């Protein structure tokens, strides 16, 4: 049974608040960018955006839960200074609660690149290969157990592109929620169930255990914001075994792969560009890397347990 009691009745995300949802839907569809180019905010002084640049990023993260900032730096340089600048930039948008990750470097960010066979435990995990990444939100396995802090925001900064490929598809989770609720409000109730998605216990190479993660796909946090945890992978995922959940998942996959969603964007980040977002749904295509080590694909990633900005007022009634 969905724990609707934890969602304020006036929230547009409450499954029974049809009027509030209708008003929020009208606002959302009017405010959301129509093309990926509208997500891009050029920065004149990275890592310290001007008030206008900062406002543009905040506006996009309110209307679409994401923005692409462009520093204009195309040199592809990798340096400790860049990592420090990224942390300064993130802090301008309230992103200071970085998760601790096993692949974190000394600069407290994770470098996303193809790992060698000797790099354990990176080697063997798909983000550190040239293979495609299916639809997911980051940190979907960090939920529902003591000490778990869900990932609510992320920065993904491109240092160097691959020779070919490595594109990302992006979808605002609020759009996914909206489309599913339009189709059948029962889908939302099913995907808000506390046992909708379970990630089994995982034992790391060092013997440490990541506990079982059981929880909803969509949930509303204490600040009233809608969050999503999802993965399209088929291994080591246990979905609630009932007809409505299966139907809701089929509808979600159809949304992600049907080719009819106008707010689903495909982008290829250029060197010096980065995605700042409230943990949006995303993919990565397979890629072919450069032969020269100094030219190979490299992105910096920071993941955070708080959102890009404090909640903004939205129509609710």
With respect to residue 209, please indicate whether it lies within any of the assigned structural domains: yes
Number of domains in the chain: 1
With respect to residue 75, please indicate whether it lies within any of the assigned structural domains: yes
Q: Count Cβ atoms below 10 Å from residue 32 Cβ, excluding itself.
A: 18
Contacts made by residues 229-234, CB under 8 angstroms, sequence distance 24+: 229/137, 229/139, 229/140, 229/143, 229/150, 229/197, 230/135, 230/136, 230/137, 230/140, 230/197, 230/281, 231/134, 231/135, 231/136, 231/137, 231/140, 232/134, 232/135, 232/136, 232/256, 233/134, 233/136
With respect to residue 225, please indicate whether it lies within any of the assigned structural domains: yes
With respect to residue 317, please indicate whether it lies within any of the assigned structural domains: no
Average pLDDT over residues 9-20: 95
pLDDT band (50, 70, 90) for residue 310: very low
Asked whether 316 and 20 are in contact (CB, 8 A), the reply is yes
Domain extent, residue 149, equals 4-304
With respect to residue 62, please indicate whether it lies within any of the assigned structural domains: yes
Q: Which of 95-104, 132-141, 174-183, 261-270 has the lowest mean pLDDT?
A: 95-104
- Higher-pLDDT residue of 299 and 80 is 299
C-alpha 73, offset from chain centre? 24
Residue 135: the pLDDT is 98
Residue 99: the pLDDT is 76
Read off the CATH number of the domain in which 21 is found.
3.60.130.10
With respect to residue 140, please indicate whether it lies within any of the assigned structural domains: yes
Asked whether 27 and 314 are in contact (CB, 8 A), the reply is yes
With respect to residue 316, please indicate whether it lies within any of the assigned structural domains: no
With respect to residue 47, please indicate whether it lies within any of the assigned structural domains: yes
């Amino acid at each position: 049974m969905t724990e609707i009691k934890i969602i304020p009745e006036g929230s547009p995300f409450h499954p029974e608040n049809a009027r509030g949802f209708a008003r929020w839907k009208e606002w959302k569809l009017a405010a959301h960018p129509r093309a990926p180019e509208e997500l891009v905010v050029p920065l004149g002084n990275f890592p310290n955006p001007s008030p206008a640049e900062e406002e543009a990023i905040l506006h996009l993260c309110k209307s679409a839960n994401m923005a692409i900032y462009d520093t204009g730096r195309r040199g592809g340089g990798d340096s400790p200074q860049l990592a420090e600048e990224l942390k300064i930039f993130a802090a301008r948008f309230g992103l200071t609660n970085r998760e601790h990750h096993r692949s974190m470097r000394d600069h407290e960010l994770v470098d996303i690149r193809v790992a060698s066979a000797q790099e354990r435990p990176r080697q063997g995990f798909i983000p550190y290969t040239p293979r495609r990444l299916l639809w997911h939100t980051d940190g979907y396995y960090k939920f529902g157990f003591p000490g778990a802090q869900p990932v609510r925001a992320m920065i993904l900064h491109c240092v160097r592109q691959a020779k070919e490929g490595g594109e990302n598809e992006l979808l605002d989770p609020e759009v996914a929620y909206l489309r599913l609720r339009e189709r059948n409000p029962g889908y939302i109730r099913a995907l808000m169930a506390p046992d909708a998605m379970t990630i089994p216990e995982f034992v790391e190479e060092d013997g440490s255990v990541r506990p079982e993660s059981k929880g909803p796909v969509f949930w509303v946090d204490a600040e009233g914001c809608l969050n999503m945890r999802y993965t399209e992978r088929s291994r080591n995922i246990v979905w609630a075994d009932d007809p409505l959940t299966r139907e809701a998942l089929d509808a979600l996959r159809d949304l992600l792969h049907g080719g009819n969603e106008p707010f689903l964007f495909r982008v290829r980040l250029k060197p010096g560009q980065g995605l700042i977002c409230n943990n949006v749904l995303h993919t990565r295509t397979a890629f072919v890397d450069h032969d020269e080590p100094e030219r190979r694909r490299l992105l910096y990633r920071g993941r955070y347990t708080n959102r890009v900005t404090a909640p903004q007022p939205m129509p609710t009634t």
